[in-house]
Amino acid sequence: MPGPMAISIVIAVIVLLLLAAVSLTLRLLRSTGRWIPWAIFPVAIAALAVWQSVTLYRVATGSFSPPPDMTTAMFAAVTTSLLVAMLYRGGQVLTGMRQANEDLRRSQQTLSESEERLKILFEDAPDGCYVMDLAGRFVDGNRAAEELIGYPRGDMIGSSFLDLQLLSAEDLAAAAGALSVSATGEPIGPVEYELRRKDGGRIMVEIRTYPVTIEGESLVLGVARDISARRQAEKGLREHEARLLNAQRVAAMGDWLWQIETGELSWSEQTYALFGLSHDEFDQTFEGFRKLVHPDDMGLLEDRVDAALKGRREYSVDHRIVLPGGETRHVHENGEVTRDELGEPVSMVGTVIDITERKLAEEQIRDLNEELEERVRKRTSDLEAAVKDMESFSYAVSHDLRQPLRTINGFVQLLAEDVAAALDPSTRAHLDRIREGASRMGQMIDDLLQLARVGKAGLSREEVNLSQLARDVVSDLETSDSGRSVEVCVQDGLTDDGDEGLLTVLLQNLLGNAWKFTAGREAARIEFGARRVEGRDTIYYVGDNGIGFDSVYAGRIFGAFQQLHHANEFDGTGIGLATVERIVRHHGGRVWAEAAVNEGATFSFTLHSHS
């Protein structure tokens, strides 16, 4: 029979176990937040502890006798072992719960992070994204959606397309139909709508909708993309294609694509029209095209195609085609070969244009050129004959006409010497006029011969010192008319490319005229110089302060025998300026005059054709 000390120890142990069970139960409650089934442990342990205590008490008071083969200590040990086992199992359960709680926490963190990523993706998506309930009201929307419609998110949430007047009546009906289909679980789109923004602007959008479930509620996710720029580009492309087709129609030009490996040949509508075929009449192959080529041009076509495929030259060829009705037309084709990464030809794309009218025009031009060449040959022959006649005339003038003039001068001279004493002053004056007329006639013959030689003689171009030529001409004028005092200014350093002999004649005529028409001036002045204009040839000029002339006649003074002053006032034959004009024209330049009555005259000229 156990003593009081043993019983006290057992009761103390039972109390400690009871406290441990209560502590374990409380920790399980904090971990799970549920009373059942964890409340069973302290109840079971408390029942065992009470039962153990009552048993010990009964043993101590003698009211209970344990079985003969079991002592009270063994009974207490068994009971204690049972309690310890229950506490150990409770610890295992607690450890498992801790692991489950840790797994649950991690799952919740992963879910939270995933939701955050989805929120960021939703918010930062480039397209307008929105969530709408099945009644058509906005539940949420991202920044792109706000920018798309122009409404802030606060105005958007709780409103519908109708409330915000985003769509036309027709588009609203289509959007409502799409929402109904999405409610059944089917994605819709893309569907295009014209959307009216808050600021009144209109844009084209493309919307796709997807059924989603969020926290048990069926919703619709919409993705809207602004396609205004794309639609504008498509419109521009259509307009460009229309212009291209119209240009091809006006220019009678078509285009084609040849798939080299398969032999397939695609034509544009204008190409069909050009070849006079319908889609059913052409088998859309390269062989079918070859059948339309004129037999005489087949060799040329094949050579050009082969050269293009081998990369020797671009495909460009003129050839004839035979239309179904038998008519022959001329076409010009250009093409470009497309090659693969190995350099092998894959396809050829090109254009074809009807050049029949051009070919006919070229034939007419060839005929006209041949006719023109024949006319030129005839005119050249006539001109050569005329030149020969002119040479004969010049010879006659030079020899046949000079002889009578010399005879007249001789007899007038003899008459004046033989009967001079018997002649009265009036008769002597008549003889002097005859002699002067014959002399002027001789000078006119010389001038005409010089004028004829200017057109006939070729140019012997060399660098000519025009300043020195002018000084030589002035020196001769001063020698022949030494009684005059004339201020002559010649610009230094004037050189140019030309015929020295002809340019000497030119300056003799211009400076001689200036000398002649300044005869009545007290302070006569003559100037020869040049001025250079950027991008043009040098302009030479001879100016004087003589009697000048009316500028109305500036255009006619370069004709032969054109004299603006009476022969009694100034001698001359009227051939000098015509000779000047011919010399300048012979050099490829031009000459013109500027003058005013009693204010002098300036004659300007150039010596090259680009002036």
Predicted confidence (pLDDT) per residue in 245-266, tens digit: 776 666 668 889 999 999 999 9
392 occurs within a structural domain:
no
Q: Quick one: pLDDT at residue 397? A: 62
In this structure, of 235-244, 393-402, 493-502, the range with the lowest mean pLDDT score is 393-402
Q: Give residue 503's identity as a one-letter amino acid code.
A: L
Q: Quick one: pLDDT at residue 490? A: 93
Q: Quick one: pLDDT at residue 187? A: 86
Q: Quick one: pLDDT at residue 451? A: 58
Residue labelled with tokens 């020797």:
312
Residues 6+ apart with CB under 8 A from 157: 138, 139, 140, 141
The fraction of the chain above a pLDDT of 70, given in percent, is 70
244 occurs within a structural domain:
no
Final residue of a domain: which of 354, 386, 403?
Answer: 354
424 occurs within a structural domain:
no
**Residues 277 and 208 occupy one common structural domain:** no
**Residues 219 and 275 occupy one common structural domain:** no
What CATH number is attached to the domain comprising 197?
A: 3.30.450.20
Q: Where does the pLDDT of residue 69 fall: very low under 50, low under 70, confident under 90, or very high at 90 and above? A: very low
**Residues 92 and 141 occupy one common structural domain:** no
**Residues 483 and 600 occupy one common structural domain:** yes
Q: Quick one: pLDDT at residue 294? A: 93
Terminal-residue alpha carbon distance, the chain: 153
What CATH number is attached to the domain comprising 494?
A: 3.30.565.10
**Residues 480 and 588 occupy one common structural domain:** yes
**Residues 256 and 198 occupy one common structural domain:** no
**Residues 192 and 295 occupy one common structural domain:** no
**Residues 94 and 206 occupy one common structural domain:** no
594 occurs within a structural domain:
yes
Radius of gyration of the chain (CA): 62
452 within 8 A of 489, measured Cβ to Cβ? no
115 occurs within a structural domain:
no
For residue 240, the SS3 value is helix
Q: Quick one: pLDDT at residue 71? A: 47
Residue labelled with tokens 């492309």:
237
**Residues 463 and 551 occupy one common structural domain:** yes
Residue range of the domain that includes 470: 457-605
What length is written for the chain? Answer: 611
Q: How far apart are CA 294 and CA 66, in angstroms?
A: 132
402 occurs within a structural domain:
no
Q: What angle do CA 365, 366, 370 make, to 5 degrees?
A: 115
Final residue of a domain: which of 354, 385, 420?
Answer: 354
Neighbours of 527 (CB within 10 A): 17
- How many separate domains does the chain show? 4
- In sign, the C-alpha dihedral spanning 503, 505, 506, 511 is positive
**Residues 87 and 190 occupy one common structural domain:** no
**Residues 136 and 197 occupy one common structural domain:** yes
**Residues 277 and 209 occupy one common structural domain:** no
pLDDT digits (tens, 9 = 90+) for 295-308: 999 999 999 999 99
Q: Could you tell me which residues are beta bridge partners of residue 462?
A: 498
Q: Quick one: pLDDT at residue 68? A: 44
